[in-house]
Every structure is written in structure tokens, then in C-alpha cells.
Structure 1
Amino acid sequence: MKSFEEGQQMAAFEEERRMMELVQQADFVVVELTLYTNTHPNDEEALQQWREAIKKAAQVRRQYENRYGPLSLASVPTEKALEIGWRWNQTPWPWQR
């Protein structure tokens, strides 16, 4: 039988995993629309979808990083990262959690 603390840890892990999946999904949409608009530069509807997808991906990434820390060196350090002194060579990395 799981303890209350183990249950909370599992819930936290699942929440982080869910948020990471949202980041990955949003990034996938951006990549696919980028490829499409590269070959169809006059498709205004696709260009608008691409613009919206970039905004959505940035929003989802910001939400993840505000909660769990930066995903890449290109990310602006969050307050949490600045407080704890982010170290890129220390685990767990986001994909290892």
C-alpha cells in the first residue's frame, strides 16, 4: 500500500510528465506547420495557424519552465533557477524526471 507521501510524489511526477507532453505536442505542431509553410508560402490560413502555434508553444513552454526549470540554454532563467543556482551538469534533467 502506498503512503500518502508516495501518492503525492507520483501525482507530482504525473503532472510534470503531462506538462512535458504538452510542450512536446506544441513543438511538434510548430515543426509540422513550419515544414508546410516552407513549401506553401502563399497559404495565408497555414501562416496564421503557424503564428498561433508559435504563441501557444511559447506559452506552454513558459508554464513548464516556471514550474520545473529551464528546458534549454536558450530559455530565460526562471526565478526558481536563479534562486537555486541552476547547474546544467546536474541531474535530473527534465527528460530524466
Structure 2
Amino acid sequence: MSAFEEERQMMLRVQQADFVVVELTLYTDTHPDEAEALDQWREAIKAAAHVRHQYENRYGPLSLVSVPSEQAIEIGWRWNSTPWPWQR
């Protein structure tokens, strides 16, 4: 598998995990008393954070929130530097 395909697969896992969080958030908004759904929501958030962390460790931050404040202050993050995620 090429490096490009590996990154695409990892990004797909990030997107899938985020989708699960959004769907469970919507469900728990309308069913706030369902303990099992709330447990699934909590686990989905943890899983999504883990997958996102793996991606960002390998390929860089996905958002400004992901850039540690110390790094941003000390060395900065150059969002306009190539390659951008979709250019790799």
C-alpha cells in the first residue's frame, strides 16, 4: 500500500469515528435517559479522539484546536506551508 493510500485509510477512520460521534450525539439529544446510548456516546468520543490523535501524530494537525499552545507560541504552525493534507 502506498503512503498516499495509508493516509487516506487513516483519514477514512477519522471520518468514520467522527460520524459515529455525531450520530450518537443526535440520538442522545432526543433520548437523554437511555444509559446505554450515553455509554456508547462516551466510548465513541474516546475512540474518535484516539484515531484523530494517531492521524495527527503521523500527518499533522487537522485543526487549530489540535496544535498544542506551547508549539503554537514557540515555533508557530504554518498553515500555508505545503503540502496541505489533500496535496500529499
Question: What TM-score results when the alignment is normalised by the length of structure 2?
Answer: 0.84
Alignment correspondent of 1:39: 30
5+ residue gaps, structure 2, are none
Equivalent residue pairs, number: 83
CA displacement at 1:70 relative to structure 2:
0.2
Please say if residues 24 and 41 of structure 2, whose CA atoms lie closer than 8 Å, have aligned partners that are also in contact: yes
Tell whether 2:85 aligns with 1:94: yes
Measured on the aligned residues, the alpha-carbon RMSD in Å equals 1.9
**2-side partners of 1:22 and 1:16: how far apart?**
10
SS in 1 for 2:63: coil
Alignment correspondent of 1:27: 18
SS in 2 for 1:87: coil
Identity fraction in percent: 83
Greater relative contact order (CA < 8 Å, ≥ 6 in sequence): 2
**2-side partners of 1:42 and 1:96: how far apart?**
45
**2-side partners of 1:96 and 1:39: how far apart?**
40
Q: 1:39 to 1:69 in 2, by over 3 A?
A: same
